[in-house]
Amino acid sequence: MEYYLFLTDRCNISCSYCSAGRVVSRKEGRLFPRDRFPELVEFIKKNKKYRKNSDEEDIVMFFGGEPLLEWQMIEEFLKCAQGLDVRYGLYTNGLLLDSVPVEVLNNLDVLFVSFDGDKSSHEKHRGNGTYDKIIANLKGLRGRLKCTVLGRITVEEETNLFASVTNILGRFVDAVYWQIVNKPRFNDAQGFIRRYREGAERLFRLWLERLKEGEVLNIIPIQAIVTSSIFGYNGSASFRCGAGTIHRTIDVDGHIYWCDEYVGDERGRIGHITDEIPPLEIFIPHTELFEDCRKCDVSPLCLGRCRKALTEYSTEQKRLYCALTRHLIGLVRKNIDEVKRIVDERGYGFEDVYPGPYWTEEIP
Ligand code: SF4
Ligand code: SF4
């Protein structure tokens, strides 16, 4: 199971599209009550019996708001959760990384640092100086962190995908994942599709060139599609993000949601930490949520991309996201024989091509 824990709904910045925007209050803010940590730990323990197999990992992801505003609470949770057998991640906007003791960060397996594309688009959304500040913080931590640092890029319509990835990968972060922003309408859909395709093609060409030279770039969407095509995919039948199956977002008030974008919205509420929540296979699969998925040739790889988008958006809007997904998967497919030949020649296994972390939505 993956537990996304809202430690706080306060944030030190305010991004226009933030999934927590509905509930984030910069002034007051709510905190997850420290005295409920034992109850939360008990909830996670109880739910272990619903794992499909004993190797399935439990993940606690510190989330918010900006969880580093309350980094002392992370230490408290870790103390309370000793012996729980979970792995840890944290989502941050990166601005406070220099004010947190590195020993605290080294309890994590993965540190997700969010970017809004390259410097110009990032600062358009987050303010002047914010990009350089994150980069300076990451430079300051280079060589001192034990965890994987993952750059998580939100792709907006104006995002230069290629520059956004290559500016940080290998220099400041170990791996990159990007996610296309969820919205019910694009301003310039055709322009966005064109730009996205160009960026994706350049990235895939770069990835393939490096593979030929014996280097695997940690560009997660490409790695996930390549490994699923060559080695098969063992995850859930729908939605790689786990929404509807293994994903639980826990709000500061203990309510649980099937997706972090629904926090504060009753439509996404599935229980409370005082309940016991069995696996959510009751949720309908992507092929029933959206008719196009039934006859879609990339369905076994895409798995519906985003449950929220398929649930809420118009058919026209869903098809625009599908055009982006189909293009990305198509790029890999067109070249899969060549990729497979290189992988075979070098004797690579799954983890050589895709060493993880595996805790992203994988399909942007
Ligand atoms: S690309 Fe679109 S139609 Fe195809 S499986 Fe994904 S969401 Fe469904
Ligand atoms: S990809 Fe999954 S977790 Fe992300 S918004 Fe969509 S349904 Fe929610």
Q: Which atom number of ligand 1 is nearest to the Cα of residue 304?
A: 7
Q: Counting ligands in written order, which one lies closest to the CA of residue 311?
A: 2
How far is Cα 246 from Cα 147, in angstroms, rounded to an integer? 23
pLDDT at residue 186 tops 90: yes
How far does the centroid of ligand 2 lie from the alpha carbon of residue 194, in Å? 24
> Can you say whether the dihedral through the CA atoms of 251, 26, 242, 317 is positive or negative?
positive
Q: Whose CA is closest to atom 1 on ligand 2?
A: 306
User: What is the average pLDDT across 69-86?
Assistant: 96
241 lines ligand 2 (CB under 6 A): yes
How far does the centroid of ligand 1 lie from the alpha carbon of residue 189, in Å? 17
pLDDT tens-digit series, residues 288-319 = 999 999 999 999 999 999 999 999 999 999 99
The pLDDT assigned to 20 comes to 56
The pLDDT assigned to 256 comes to 95
pLDDT band at 328 (very low <50, low <70, confident <90, very high): very high
10 lines ligand 2 (CB under 6 A): no
How far is Cα 202 from Cα 157, in angstroms, rounded to an integer? 17
pLDDT band at 17 (very low <50, low <70, confident <90, very high): low
Q: Phi-psi category of 307—alpha, beta or left, where left has phi over 0 and alpha has psi -120 to 50?
A: alpha
DSSP 117-182: SSHHHHHHHH-TTHHHHHHHHHHHHTTT--SEEEEEEEE-TT--HHHHHHTTBTTTBSEEEEEEPP
Q: Counting ligands in written order, which one lies closest to the CA of residue 301?
A: 1
pLDDT at residue 56 tops 90: no
pLDDT at residue 219 tops 70: yes
pLDDT band at 228 (very low <50, low <70, confident <90, very high): very high
The pLDDT assigned to 21 comes to 57
pLDDT tens-digit series, residues 136-182 = 999 999 999 999 999 999 999 999 999 999 999 999 999 999 999 99
pTM: 0.94
How far does the centroid of ligand 2 lie from the alpha carbon of residue 3, in Å? 14
**In the numeric block, which tokens belong to residue 166?**
């290559």
299 lines ligand 1 (CB under 6 A): yes
The pLDDT assigned to 210 comes to 98
How far does the centroid of ligand 2 lie from the alpha carbon of residue 179, in Å? 10
The pLDDT assigned to 9 comes to 87
How far does the centroid of ligand 1 lie from the alpha carbon of residue 262, in Å? 22
Q: Whose CA is closest to atom 5 on ligand 1?
A: 299
Cα–Cα separations (whole angstroms), residue 234 to 10, 88, 227, 301, 330 = 37, 22, 11, 11, 21
Q: Whose CA is closest to atom 3 on ligand 2?
A: 259
pLDDT at residue 23 tops 70: no
